[in-house]
Each structure stands twice: as C-alpha cells, then as structure tokens.
Chains A and B, each alone.
Chain A
Amino acid sequence: MSDALDRELLNAHERGDKTALVTLYSQAADNANTDDAKYFYMTHAYIFALDTGHPIAQQLRAKLVIAGREA
C-alpha cells in the first residue's frame, strides 16, 4: 500500500468516514501484491459496505465468494 493511501485510510478511520473506507480499502485491494493482502483489504471494504448499507456490498461479497474467502 502506498504511503498516500495509508494516510488517507488513517484519516478516514479518524473521521469515522465509513463510506470513504469502502472506497479506500477497495483501492488497497486493487493495488495489493498478493492474494492474501488483496482479500484482506477487500474484506475490510466489504465489512464497511455492509455496515453502511453501501450497494457495492453484494459485488464485493460475490468476489470474495468466488475466491473462496466468504460464504
């Protein structure tokens, strides 16, 4: 994860901006170097999407299910 994205994530956590966390963790997943890192970040994006009722939740879940990471 880039330093800039890391800072943005920390800021979003500090603000409690869960919608931003969905976006930022999705970006982190897209930029990850390994599968484990990718699905780790995607899981976070998915959880904050679930939390906020974000419509992208089901897409993220579908990706995780296909990868064998979610039921």
Chain B
Amino acid sequence: MTSADALAGAVVRAWTFVYTVGAGASIREARRDEIASDLFEHARGLADEGIESRAVAGQMLARCFLGIGADVSWRIQVAFGQRRAVEEGVQMSERVKRNWWIPSAIALIGGGIVFGFLSYRNRIDEGWDPSLLDSAGTVLTAGLVFVVLPIWALVVRRSHPGWTLVMLAPAIVISLSPLLWIDEAVRDFEPILVLLAAAIVTLVGALTNLAQASVSDGAQPSAAA
C-alpha cells in the first residue's frame, strides 16, 4: 500500500471500528477482518492492474461512504439480534427455573412402572395367585397412581400447582415407603435408591412449583386495582 491508499484504508478501518463497537466479539472481529482483507485485496488488485494509488484510495473511500447506510442498518439488525438472543436466554433460564424437576417426575413415573411390574412378578413367584379381578385392580391402581395422575399433574402444574402436589402425592408416598425399611430394601434391590431419589426431587420440585406460582400470583396486579 502507498501513502494515499494506506490513509484511505485507515479511514475505512476506523469507520468499521466505530460501527462494530458493542457488537458480539465474533461478529465484530469477523466484520473487521473481512474489511481488512477487502482493503488489502483492493489495493493489491488494482495496483496489479496499474491503477494509480490515489484512484485506489478514492475508490476505497467511495465504497466506504456509499455503504454507510447499509453498515448502520446491518449494525441495528445485529443489535436487535443480540437483544433477542439475550431475551431468549432469559426466557430459557426462566423455563429451566420452573421446570428443572420435570425429569425427576418422569423418572418417578418410569421407575414406578418398572418397580411395580417387578414387585408384581415377585409376588407371583412367591406363590400369589391373583384372580382376574385382582390383577386388573392392581394394574389399574398402579396405572392411576404412577401414570395417569402424575402425567395429569405435570400437564396442569402451572395452572393448578396445588392439585399437582396432591396428584403426585400417592406416587411419592409409595416410592418413599421403602425408607421405612431402607436397609432391607436396598439390600434386596439397590436400584430402589433411584426411585427414592426421584420421589424426593419430585416432592421438592412440586413444592417449589407451588411456591413459585403463589409468588407470581401475588406479583400480578389485581384486576380491581
């Protein structure tokens, strides 16, 4: 680069520096590097074509000035994109804060089905000979306690947090019952600890959900006000 196109290049770089200030680091560096590359190729390419340095400088400045409107509108778009990303991030963290316990409730449902099936089979192995009515009753009760009510509870967790706790209670209480004979239960079947953990986390989650809902209801301005 000669002095004229070096000066023009410095002006363009300065403008690029100005309009990219505050943009995300990767976006900012990408645009600055891309303009630096363009300026270099411009100076070299036109010098190879035998175009005078002052003419190259003039072209560089013209390309810069004629693109200022597009630069500014691009920068505005970037700013909006960043704000949207931040807002989406906040929404996501809000969602995580509200729903962190859902996986444990799902584990409780899955664990309930597995342990229910295993204990049913155990009892059969131990000589229990249920009638059709007994079998149907057992399956329906287990299905109600470990599948229907918990799923329903999860669906209405925001609108009816109190009912969510009530509907989860049977599954939680049954899953926590091995705590009464924990040594024996763990000795017989170690994975029972997973069910216990899921029940405890789900209980805490359902209570937190109830507290969060009460707080956000309290924060709502009343319709009468």
Q: Do A and B come from one complex?
A: no
Enumerate chain B interface residues (CB-CB to A < 8 A). none
